[in-house]
Amino acid sequence: MSRGNKSVGTKISIFVLFFIFMFVGVFFGVQFITKTGVFRIPGVVYYDESLSSDEKAKLEEIFSYQTDLDKDVTISAKNVLEAPNLKEGEYIYNIYVPVTDFYSTKTNLTVNSVEEIFDPTFQAANEFELIPISELDFTKKLLSLNDKYYLDELVSGAVYRIVSFDSEKFAEEIKPLVTNTFSVKAPTKDTLLTFAQTGVTALSRGMNAKLNAVGGDATYFAEGIKDFLSAFDITHTSNESSFTDYASSSNICSDKRFIDTLTAIGLDVVELTGNHNQDCGDTAALETIDTYIANGIKMVGGGKTATEAAVPLELSKKGSNITMLAFNQSTGGATYDDTPGANQYYEEVAAEQIKEAKARGDLVIVDIQYYECSAYASEYEDPTCDRANSSAGDQIGLFRHLIDLGADVVVGTSAHQAQTYELYGDGVIYYGLGNLFFDQIWWPGTTRSLVLAHYIYNGKLLQTKLVGTVYDKDMQTRLLDDETLAWWLDRLVSVRP
């Protein structure tokens, strides 16, 4: 090779080396300046002191040492008393509700700040605790919070725990990691089923006379209660009197216009276990059933024949399935053949129907028309009928036995004066609800009734809120005031079995 060619080759090699050196310098220089590549500093997770130790531990499982972030993220938390309008990077970590003992007559919790509700001293003094909404069930009593009942509102009446993620790359880096983790499952208006169970309805006797006195408008009797009851997804009552043209002020038969009282309260389910539905004859009973059908009202515990009367009522709505069973036990009025009447109680039938319903995964509610206590016949407050077993027979034994068979809720629907209630086994028993509509205005105990406001979610009973009603000589049923309700519930609870 000539000397000249060697010189040219050397120059080319130096140029190539220079180019490589410049490329490498620029490459690593850019990385150094931009903190990328070999000089990249990984994103750091900063945990604010507002996070609890449990929350931090859960977050550390997500943001482990293997999690490679490009940008820093700061995580913090706060509590609010109203459902928030979430901003980007905010999630509801949990919803906490205030609860107290099942038998407590306390209904409302008043707080001045969100910090106060977490104060252990405040909780002890006010006899409540905060639990996650996922732990709520019927064995605890949900309290209103500043007069807001969570299961009615679903946007207040609870404490909302909010977790916030602050990062320049939230959408790219953080959101895919946390969205599923921070998705709280809570009831919504589309998934929470509300079901009102009421007691004795007997639109008859003195109510027939009153109907004529008020010009024949049967909605008069429901004026004070219709907005409340018609707001439920399902509304029930146990009607003991049939519609007929022969209704009078002295019989337990209903003027035909009284169907307007029932439609005014939004009645969905009528129970026919009562012992007076045949008082005005089979024709009236049959025509009454046709009237219910014409108005889209479902029936349980009675029918045109014994076979029809024995058919359970299956209800399916908002993702929950309910089986209602209703029986007449020892009060008369049952059918045993092809005539109309109430569904007679048979042990083997009840056991089999409950078993079948539970096998389907249904919530099972059993209503019983039982012997009646008559000690309420006093112009003064007489607490005798408050007790279960205050009438003939073993009421406590039968009702508890139905729970043992698998029923979730057992309700006595024959009591003209409300009775005590109790948790038992895996269920709950309400021994008697009293009169929703009737003419018994002479005795204080028979003018009041309990409404069972059931809240059902995913086929499970979350809560039953007890609501009181009362009527007077005007025979217009209205809601009972909170003070009287608390006094009354305390009386009923004091004699529970």
What confidence score (pLDDT) does residue 40 get? 44
Looking at residue 43, what is its pLDDT? 86
Q: How far, in Å, CA of 368 to CA of 374, rounded?
A: 17
Whether 359 and 336 have beta carbons less than 8 Å apart is answered as no
100-118: b or e for each residue (b if 16 or more CB lie within 10 Å)? beebbbbbebebeeeeebe
Distance between CA atoms of 282 and 402, rounded to whole angstroms?
A: 31
Ordered DSSP codes for 370-430: -PPP-TT-SSS--GGGGSTT-SSS-HHHHHHHHHHTT-SEEEE---SS---EEEETTEEEE
Which residue type is seen at 458?
Answer: N
β-pairing, 156-167 vs 90-101, is antiparallel
Q: In 359-369, which positions are buried (b, 16+ CB within 10 angstroms) versus exposed (e)?
A: eeebbbbbbbb
What pLDDT was estimated at residue 12?
Answer: 61
Q: If 0-12 CB within 10 Å is exposed, 13-18 middle and 19+ buried, where does residue 169 land?
A: middle
Whole-angstrom distance, CA of residue 411 vs CA of residue 413: 6
Query: Are 456 and 192 contacting, i.e. CB atoms less than 8 angstroms apart?
Result: yes
Alpha carbons 275 and 451: distance in angstroms, whole number: 21
Sequence-ordered list of residues with C-beta below 8 angstroms from that of 380, at least 6 positions apart, any chain:
444
Domain ranges across the chain: 45-178, 192-493
pLDDT given at position 39: 45
One-letter amino acid at 147 equals D
- What is each CA distance from 174 to 64, 65, 72, in whole angstroms? 13, 15, 10
| Rounded Cα gap, residues 253 and 378, in angstroms | 25
Question: What token pair was written down for 459?
Answer: 């086929």
Whole-prediction pTM? 0.91
- CATH assignment, 192-493: 3.60.21.10
> How many angstroms separate the CA atoms of 195 and 232, rounded?
6
Distance, CA of 277 to CA of 414 (rounded, Å):
13
Name the nearest CA neighbour of 269 among 320, 197, 368: 197
pLDDT at 78: 96
pLDDT mean values, one per 10 residues, the chain (497 residues): 55 61 52 47 89 93 84 96 95 96 97 95 97 97 98 97 96 91 89 98 98 98 98 98 97 98 98 96 98 98 98 98 96 94 98 98 98 88 95 96 98 97 98 98 96 98 98 97 96 97
SS3 13: helix
